[in-house]
Chains A and B, each alone.
Chain A
Amino acid sequence: MQTRLGSVVEFVLTAILVVCFASCSNPGPQPTPLPTPVASPVVPSMAASPSPSEEDVNLRKAEGAVHRFWRVIDRLSADPNSDLTELTTVSRGSVAAQWARNINQYRFDGVKAEGRVAVRDVVAEQTKDDDLYKVTACIDASKVNLVDKNGKSVVPPEGPRRVSYDYTIENDQRKWYVIKEKVTKTC
């Protein structure tokens, strides 16, 4: 039996409130009887080490954003049929546009990447802007090769394979994006 909004309280003591969504017999997610956010229960921790601060967590997430960024580029560069819009899950603006162009050029030229970029020596720091982080990392592409349809490498034998980058990472509603990248030096 459904009740009107105003009569819910009157029935509380005499009724069993059963909320059904989809199926009453389905032991699915428990409903929220009122629009009340449920606080997470506090579980005492026996761990000796203190939990990391929010700032530490964010710094690690900013560093993780660079790792994810490169995993996506590795994957998209290796698969000529992959969807480049995935770049927008890890980067924004000119960075996303630049890598979309880079990978599109691979595809136009009939080359693809083999191997993975190693992201080393990642260090994040907070900027004056609450949602921006600066991350420096050594991008090691020594295990990456660009090959044509015959499997022949098109990467020039010279040139630095390990280069440092300065990244700017944006935290937007707990999602992290690379919004700037700048190569600086060899590493």
Chain B
Amino acid sequence: MLKRAGTTPFVLLFAAFANIVVAEQASAEPVECPAGSVWNPQAVTCVLKVTPPASGITHRSTKRESGSHPVNSKSPKRCVSSFSGKEVPCRDGSSWWSNARDCYVSLADPQPAKSDPEWEGHKTGAIYECYSPALVGSRMFTFWSATAPTGPAAPPEPRALALRAIATMRLRAIGIGIVPEPQPGSVGIVGMPTWMWVANPGQHTWGPITRTASSVGYRVTATAKVQRVVWAMGDGRTVICTKRGTPYADSFGKRASPDCGHIYTRQGTYTVRATSYWRVTWAGIGQNGTIPLDFTRTAVITMGEAQVLIR
């Protein structure tokens, strides 16, 4: 990690990378920074690269996830059998060596029913198989573990891969379609139907969208889709729409929206918040789970009252 320098921080930073970055020349020369750093043209040096959190997601998530497992803790880099004291291959087929358990571990496939005593009453985690070919007479046995046993060649944590897959989806809030339109000069009438819909729905705003992430030969596939949109209308009421809604057209006249609408009862300016709730299902490396996400976009609309004067 780069150190913060005192009074001449960037000079020192640059000094650290001077052997990498080329000097300015008449012809174009590649500009590269060491791993873990990026170029800052203002500072004319490579600076520490921001590493996004493991989730790679910056949204607010409000629901509990299912099927998640903690990330493996740090493991030693060598695989050693305590019986022989010698190094052993870190992988044997689809199994990986666990120094802690002194055996090759693999996820039991299929997983026994949750009612099986192997689960020891647990509802989460998984059943693993363990064997040690170095031991004469070694037989395979199974055990329950909340997390995948660690090892230099242990598979990546599947949820972490799922989050990486999600990060590539570029999910975002819906575009708000609403009448009256959220623009100056557009005023709806109290008591008349307000229509709401998802403007320009696409795979990034409505789904479904599927992406796969892989690491050291393991793959996790995630599929995301919006389950519902909760419209907080700004007047204290919310409307839950499980469909995208119907875009308003002149031909609809004063009819109410067939699938996503609202009626204001008082004039005023309202901030409408549309929150789309996603459900991401993922599967891979013998596990599966779901991850909830939500994104919000707002729009401001104006409602006025109609008054009829009779002469």
A123 located at the interface, meaning its Cβ lies under 8 Å from any Cβ of chain B in the complex: no
- A77 close to chain B: CB less than 8 A: yes
Supposing A36-B179, A77-B42, A102-B47 touch, asked if A8 and B24 sit within 8 A by C-beta, the answer is no
Other-chain residue from B22, B254, B302, B304 in contact with A20 (beta carbon distance below 8 A): B304
Cβ contacts under 8 Å, B11 to chain A: 154, 156
The answer to whether A117 touches B41, judged by C-beta atoms less than 8 angstroms apart, is: yes
Query: Which chain A residue lies CB-closest to B250?
Result: A36
* Minimum Cβ distance to chain B for residue A3 (Å): 5
| Contact, CB under 8 Å: B189 / A19 | yes
- Give the A-B contact count at a CB cut-off of 8 A: 209
With an 8 Å Cβ cutoff, the count of chain A residues facing the other chain is 67
Q: Contacts of B202 on A, CB cut-off 8 Å?
A: 130-131
> For the complex, what is the distance from the CA of A34 to the CA of B202, rounded to whole Å?
29
CB–CB B189/A15 < 8 A? no
- Residue A173 is within 8 A (CB to CB) of chain B in the complex: yes
Interface residues of A in 7-47 (CB under 8 A from B): 8, 11, 14-21, 24, 29-38
- Decide if A32 touches B188 in the complex (CB within 8 Å): yes
A20, B307: Cβ atoms closer than 8 Å: yes
Residues of A within 8 A of B50 (CB): 94, 97-98, 100-101
Chain A residue nearest in CB terms to B309: A16
Identity of the chain A residue whose Cβ is nearest the Cβ of B49 in the assembled complex: A98
A59 within 8 A of B: no
Which of B113-121, B193-201, B238-246 contacts the other chain? Answer: B193-201
B73 CB-CB contact with A under 8 Å = no
Interface contact B28-A187, CB-CB below 8 Å: yes
Interface residues of A in 159-187 (CB under 8 A from B): 159-164, 170, 172-173, 179, 183-187
Contact, CB under 8 Å: A164 / B309? no
**Residues 115-146 of chain A: 1 if any B CB is under 8 Å from the residue's CB, otherwise 0?**
00100000000000011000000010100101
Q: List 14 A-B contacts (CB under 8 A).
A: A1-B308, A2-B306, A14-B311, A18-B306, A19-B304, A35-B254, A93-B58, A111-B10, A144-B42, A148-B7, A163-B31, A184-B31, A185-B28, A186-B27
